[in-house]
Structure 1
Amino acid sequence: MGIRLIIQGGLTVNRKTLSLFTLIAVLVTLPVALGACSGSAENETKVRIGEVTRSIFYAPQYVALSQGFFKEEGLDVELTTTAGGDKTMTALLSNAIDVALVGSETSIYVHQQGSDDPVVNFAQVTQTDGTFLVSRKPVAKFDWSMLKGSTFLGQRKGGMPQMAGEFTLKKKGIDPHKDLNLIQNVDFANIPAAFSSGTGEYVQLFEPQATMIEREGKGHVIASFGVESGKLPYTVFMAKKSYMDRNQATIQKFTNAVHRAQKWVNDKPVDEIAAALTPYFADTDKEVVKAVVKRYKDQQSFATDPIVDEQEWNNLQDVMQAAGELKQRADYKALVDTSYARKAIEAAK
């Protein structure tokens, strides 16, 4: 029985009938054929993203991955969950990742420490706070004054959720440190479990935990901190200035993909968006994913373009200042570069 050569692309050649010249021709063209099949992968530029947490709140990022927008821009994106703003920024500063998806306040913290290589915000993903006020008991007609004197399970001090939460409470005439029994010593990942086990009368929660607790009958979503605190550059793609200077084409392609995903999320119905996110939330009930996407979409949490707006940047610093976390206001032009976002918008027209 003759030996058969299976050439990539489906070409089959019987050795008994293969002439020497034909064999040489096949062997010469084989590397070219293989190169044509694998060339696109070889030409892709690798970009390592570190996301501060895995959250439906970051829907455009997962859409850019699942719908192939990064791939179509020639990027091979590696996504890692770096679990916490401090860890995400440490990974970025130490070159363990190239791009961070994290709260823009972290770039201000680095700037306050006097870095020679500032972290620059270049593409916004979310434009509101992503947390909700959850009550242990149902509330027929909620008023923020009801929180006074209650035990409130809050977020980690210095983080954007805590600052946006306290900013809202103060706006509603509540001093969180005087009018509440405020608990802030529970780790971010353990806050939902602490509330479920009986800690606090009210809690500030991200999704999908807020919806999951509501569906389990352990709490009730009664207000949105995102709606109350206003628009902010809440979660932004950022990179060190030195990396951006060396990789301008890569940052542009990256921003192009992000904006394409933003337009896709803005245009598509909830069911289709939820389906695109499923690979990244395999352990979350599909109906919960849909409910969370709808909640965030309804309150316009997903940014519709990647521009970090100066007014929103100033609003962010107002929130930080009210929380006592801002030594001095950071120059917008020093820590924000909108040129990539503007080119991405122009390219998408």
Structure 2
Amino acid sequence: MSKLHMRRRAVLAAAPMLIAAPHIARAQGKPEKSKVVLAVGGKSALYYLSLTIAESKGFFKEAGLDVEINDFQGGAKSLEALMGGSADVVAGAYEHTIRMQQRGQAIKGFALIGRGMQLAIGVRSDLADKVKGPADIKGMKFGVTAPGSQTQMLVTYWAAKGGLKATDIVAIGVGAGASVVAAIENKSVDGISQADPALTILQEKKLIKILVDTRTMKGNQELFGGSMPAACLYAQPALLTKTPNTAQALATAIVRADQWLQTASPAEVAASVPTGYLLGDKAIYERAFSNVRETISPDGVMPADGPANCLKFLADGDPKIQPAKIKLAETWTNEFAERARKRS
């Protein structure tokens, strides 16, 4: 049996039976913690749109929460804030729950924002003729939100398909939004792994050629074989067990935002985010939202195939990940999102 086949079997064996997980029946009461510090990396990206909508539409306040949002350069930095104790909860990539379990530290996701990765890899247009496949990016510099974030992991995953190691490419943290556009315009990077609206802006300016695209569910199906959980709310387990009403309030606000985004017009969305998030072009922002809308979770609930697909993605790109040792059921609970969905 090949190593690849063995790894795939291990991933499947580690897949959780989310629907069979114990459900704790609780009546939602007043949040135990009314003031919550939330960390996020690159909030202006459409990747985190549900978070921004929950804030701007007052969904957090209506759930009884005063949420202080600290925006870092990338997801790895927001994870550090959680583990260091300066944040109560993170809006970040689900995959961090798996990576931290591999390191012996438990964190758990409980409200999904993205059911598709919503990222894309592109190279500068003046270099596009040199890149026919992943093997051709050896030695190139890629602008990611921050080293260690999902944007870097996507490049590493794709590079591995071309026989390259993570060290064969250079990841440079460029944040999100306007700084991404600037990094390509001034040629400080050869390519990017990023989220919208920066991607669409660079495409419209014909400054990049997209090589890998997960901004549609079709793209996720082609690359990962199904859904790929992206941004979510995750926290250390104590938040969920010791302050369940607080966790429920957070999940309720995100689920309401997810649901609002399913029917909101692009113009309504653009009017609901800070002007700076539009990067100077409201029309492009609206088109970018339309392009990624289907990858936004409709209800905050983790798709059944999501955790296993994410684990396979990580294992294929990082030999340190050992699927057989990962307990996916401990990285996620649908309890809070399911309750929020039923009450909406």
TM-score between both structures, scaled by the size of structure 1: 0.74
- The counterpart of 1:213, out of the listed 202, 223, 227, is 202
> In structure 1, which of residues 66, 72, 85 is the aligned counterpart of residue 62 of structure 2?
72
* Unaligned stretches of 5+ residues in structure 2: 1-31
The answer to whether residue 61 in structure 2 is matched with residue 61 in structure 1 is no
Give, in whole Å, the separation in 2 of the partners of 1:321 and 1:262. Answer: 29
- The change in CA–CA distance for 1:339 and 1:280 in structure 2 (over 3 A counts) is farther
Q: Conserved in 2, the CA contact under 8 Å of 1:133 and 1:202? A: yes
| Residue aligning to 2:309 | 315
CA, structure 1 residues 201+294, in 2 after alignment: closer, same or farther (shift >3 Å)? Answer: same
Shift of 1:287: 2.2
* Percent pairwise identity: 20
Residue 191 to residue 323, structure 1, CA distance change in 2 (3 Å):
farther
The residue number in structure 1 matching 2:91 is 101
Q: What are the superposed Cα offsets for residues 23-61 of structure 1, whole Å, 9 maximum, x if unpaired? A: xxxxxxxxxxxxxxxxxxxx9912211112121221111
CA contact (8 A) 1:104 1:236 kept: yes
Shift of 1:318: 0.3
Distance (whole Å) between structure 2 residues aligned to residue 146 and residue 259 of structure 1: 38
- Indicate which of 228, 232, 238 corresponds to 1:236: 232
Alpha-carbon distance, 1:197 to partner? 2.9
Shift of 1:248: 0.6
Map of 1:186 onto structure 2: 172
Distance change (3 Å), C-alpha of 1:185 and 1:138: closer
Cα distance change on mapping 1:135 and 1:119 into 2, 3 Å: closer
The 5-angstrom pairing of residues 40-189 of structure 1 reads 45-54=34-43, 55-115=45-105, 118-137=106-125, 145=132, 149=136, 152-154=140-142, 155=144, 158-168=148-158, 174-177=162-165, 183-189=169-175
Cα deviation 1:67-112 (Å, max 9, x = unaligned): 1111111111111102223321221122211110111222222222
Contact 1:51 1:81 in 2 (8 A): yes
The corresponding residue for 1:253 is: 249
Which gives a bigger RCO, structure 1 or 2 (Cα 8 Å, sep 6+)? 2
Q: Does 1:304 align with 2:298?
A: yes
- Tell me whether 150-159 or 78-87 shows the greater mean CA deviation: 150-159
CA distance in 1: counterparts of 2:210 and 2:287, whole angstroms:
12
SS at match of 1:149: helix
Aligned partners of 2:279, 2:185: CA distance in 1, in Å?
A: 19
Structure 1 position 241, deviation (Å): 0.9
**SS of alignment partner, residue 234 of structure 2:** strand
Structure 1's 73 and 158: CA in aligned 2 closer, same or farther, altered over 3 A? closer
Q: Is this contact kept in 2: 1:136–1:202, CA < 8 A? A: yes
Q: Which moved more, 1:330-339 or 1:161-170?
A: 161-170
Within-5 A mapping of 1:263-278: 263-278=259-274
8 Å contact from structure 2 (residues 262, 298) kept in 1: yes
**Matched residue pairs, number?**
298
User: Quick check: 1:258–1:306 contact (8 Å CA) kept in 2?
Assistant: yes
Q: Deviations over 1:262-291 (max 9, x none)?
A: 111001111111211235626543223212
Q: CA offset at residue 317 of structure 1?
A: 0.6
CA contact (8 A) 2:147 2:172 kept: no
The alignment's C-alpha RMSD in Å is 3.2
Q: Is the 8 A contact 1:168 1:225 kept in 2?
A: no
Give unmatched runs, 5+ long, in structure 1.
1-42
- Distance across 2 between alignment mates of 1:235 and 1:273: 18
Verify: 1:327 aligned to 2:313, yes or no. Answer: no
Secondary structure of 1:108's partner? helix
Higher Rg of the two aligned structures: 1
Shift of 1:344: 0.9
Q: Secondary structure at the match of 2:337?
A: helix
Tell me the SS of whatever aligns to 1:277. coil
Q: Aligned to 2:308, what secondary structure does the other structure show?
A: helix
* 1:232, distance to aligned residue in structure 2 (A): 1.4
Moved more, 121-130 or 153-162: 153-162
Partner SS for 1:129: coil
Tell me if structure 1 keeps the 8 A contact 2:50–2:254: yes
